[in-house]
Amino acid sequence: MLALTCVQADDDPLVVFFIDPTAYEYWGDAMLVCTPGGRNYVIDGGQLAFGPDWDCGLQRVLPLLDSLDVTYLDGVVGTHPHSDHIGGLISVYDSLEVGIAYDSGWPYGSSWTYQQYLEAIVRNGSDYVTPRMGDSLDWGSELTVEVFYPKEPLPPSCANNSSIVLRLTYGEIAFLFTGDLETNGGEDVILAGIEDISADVLKVGHHGSASSTCNMWLSAVDPTIAAICVGANNPFGHPHGEVVSRLLGRDITIYRTDRDGTFYLSTDGEEVYFNSMPPTGGGGSVDPETFSVFPSPATDTATFAWDPADGDQALIRVFNLNGELVLDVDAVDGSFLWDLATSGGSPAAPGLYAAVFSTSEGVICTEYFTISR
Amino acid sequence: MHRVLHHLALILLTGICTAGGVGTADLLVLTSPGFPSVMMMGPAGRAAASGAFAVSSNPAMLSPGFSASGGRWNLSTTAVSLGGAVSLGGRASVGAGLVYLGRGGIIRRDAAGQPMGEYSFGTGSIAAGGSLHLSDWLRAGVSAGLSWEDIGGDAETGISVSLGLAGEPEPGIRVGLSLTGLGIPPRWKGIHKDMPTVLSAGGEANIGSGFSAFAGGELGFFTADSFGGGLSLKASGFRLSAGYTLSPGEDELSGLFGGMSYTYESGGSYTMEAAFTQRDNLDWPILAGISVSF
């Protein structure tokens, strides 16, 4: 269980958590807003995926809520129907009572995940709301929550551009949440329709993809802090270098889940404070030094060690120089002692080996070692 | 000839009796393809690929020329290979070759797991051999050499031997049979491990319109078995090949492979080539190289 001893509710009454979606090669968006008035809202829940199985809602969002003693959610925002945003919300809806389900309403009938998500909302009994450009949401009298997007009619062919875009303002500080909004058909529509979209903190659109966050958008938002929700091993290269360059070129401070792990930004309405979280097994918490094989070279035995914070259980597979699987074992509690015998019981030959750790938290790390009899 | 076949049969039987020793073989550099021409034919490549490099795979496939390649093999080792051969009057060829795999930056750890610096691993094989025409369509080859492993400065040496047959029973059909990884393994602190002996068979046949089909298999006596095949297309100096390897019980070794090459003819054949092999948990091996054929 996580302990947030560093959150000072009296001094920093608005807290926004950016939850690390890192697991295997998965990615996604997941955020939690804890308001000064004591309300709690989840914005996206990360990915639900199979092979390898991963449920960001179950593995990351719910443990965070549990650590904060949150037993009721005033609202859940599914920015748009892609599984890396709403997949993890299924477990959330099935675990906690939720007041209002905010959904883009974009028709995505062919998606199994989206169907499960809608059924979970029905099971939960939440009020179903589809915010639209110009709406205001009641998240407490101390906050202003403006809906910048989407607008009717919804774009027929691009779910990303149906993303619910919200500006959350507390005192002098504003956060802009953008989902996967893209430049063409999204940012340009907002720029044409809303005069003031400025914000101090920008949740960078689409995990830092170059299809989002154009220079005109950045000029209009004019943030001082950019937060990027991105999986550390995502196959798309997010965040893209040109987006990072655009941000750095404007002296915008970047926080990103693939490097910082789960982090939170808190504000008293005047200043914004950054804090990292205890390791959760995500990108920012992976320390290669926490995975090791020793002694190396090994002569009689080899100990495989990892930090249980990266997962109590680990599947350890050892491959030799030919790529043959020499050892395949499930281990627990952070260590496993190998007698250097192959699965067939014969002594493993001297040579170079790769140990691939896959923990129950979805962290994968490869360590190289040798056997020298 | 009969004696060679007799020995092959004996070794085959011995290997079958000792099957199940996967992971116990030393000198696994001998099981690496070394050259893209071999890799792009999958399990058929060791027996059926022809070139100046063949002293390292099937010495009966030796042909005059020079080959050099480099890239990445399993466990992200850096691969460097060289091979050269000359003709001895038409019926015989002799050649020599080197295959090397190395990796640095391995963290040295003591018995308590404390980092004690870094070290490197290197393994290689250098061999010489020759091929001889036994008839108009059949050739035999043999090669022998030294193989070694160096683990953080602790090095041992073994002797490796390869035998092979190569034939072209019909125009456009090429077959090969090789037995590699024979010899004497290194002695580590007085203990001999196993040699990675592999019996390989493969062939390639033209099937028209520039296409050829190839297939083969490798029976490993202290390493994994693998079987596979694919198609190759030749056009305008280019060659594209792709196929699939199935290695029973070894998911990591099963997968796609492929490659491409371009050959320029001008007083000889100059070929640039590259090949890859699919992996799931490890980085994909990739080799690229050049070769000159006379």
Kindly list the structural domains of chain B, giving each domain's residue range(s) and its CATH number in brackets, ordered by start: 2-221 (2.40.160)
pTM > 0.90: yes or no? no
pLDDT computed for residue A52 by the predictor: 80
Contact at CB, A321 and B28, closer than 8 angstroms: yes
Distance separating alpha carbons of residues A312 and A306, to the nearest angstrom: 9
Q: Facing residues of B174 across strands? A: B204
Residue A74 has pLDDT above 80, yes or no: yes
CA A148 to chain centre: 23
User: Phi/psi of residue A127, each to 5°?
Assistant: -70, 135
The region, left, alpha or beta by phi > 0 then psi within -120 to 50, assigned to residue A74 is alpha
Distance separating alpha carbons of residues A254 and A276, to the nearest angstrom: 13
Task: Compute the nearest-CA separation of A291 from chain B (Å).
Answer: 10
Which carries the bigger pLDDT value, residue A210 or residue A109? A210
The answer, for A329 touching chain B at a CB cutoff of 8 Å, is: no
Assess contact for B180 and B46: CB atoms under 8 A. Answer: yes
Helix (H, G, I), strand (E, B) or coil at A71: coil
The answer, for A303 touching chain B at a CB cutoff of 8 Å, is: yes
pLDDT computed for residue A132 by the predictor: 97
Closest CA to A28 of A50, A5, A56: A56
The answer, for A349 touching chain B at a CB cutoff of 8 Å, is: yes
Residue range A250-259, pLDDT digits in tens: 999 999 998 8
Confidence of residue A22 (pLDDT cuts 50, 70, 90): confident
Residue B73 has pLDDT above 50, yes or no: yes
In chain B, residues with a C-beta closer than 8 Å to the C-beta of A356 are: 281-282
Residue A188 in tokens: 């340009």
Across the interface, which of A292, A344, A373 has its CB nearest the CB of B189?
A373
Instruction: Kindly identify which residue of chain A lies nearest to residue B284, measuring between CA atoms.
Output: A323
Which carries the bigger pLDDT value, residue B22 or residue A224? A224
Which carries the bigger pLDDT value, residue B188 or residue B233? B233
Across the interface, which of B24, B31, B110 has its CB nearest the CB of A342?
B24
In chain A, residues with a C-beta closer than 8 Å to the C-beta of B121 are: 351-352, 370
Half-sphere exposure of B115 (CA within 13 A, CB side): 11
pLDDT computed for residue A283 by the predictor: 52
Assess contact for A167 and A192: CB atoms under 8 A. Answer: no
The DSSP H or E segment spanning A50 is: none
Contact at CB, A319 and B31, closer than 8 angstroms: no
User: Read out DSSP for A202-253?
Assistant: EE-GGGG-TTS--HHHHHHH--SEEEE---TT-TT-SSPHHHHHHHHHTT-E
Residue A352 in tokens: 């170079």
| A287, A294, A352, best to mutate vs chain B, most B CBs in 10 Å | A352
Helix (H, G, I), strand (E, B) or coil at A58: helix
Q: Facing residues of A351 across strands? A: A371
CA B212 to chain centre: 21
Contact at CB, A368 and B191, closer than 8 angstroms: no
Contact at CB, B253 and A323, closer than 8 angstroms: yes
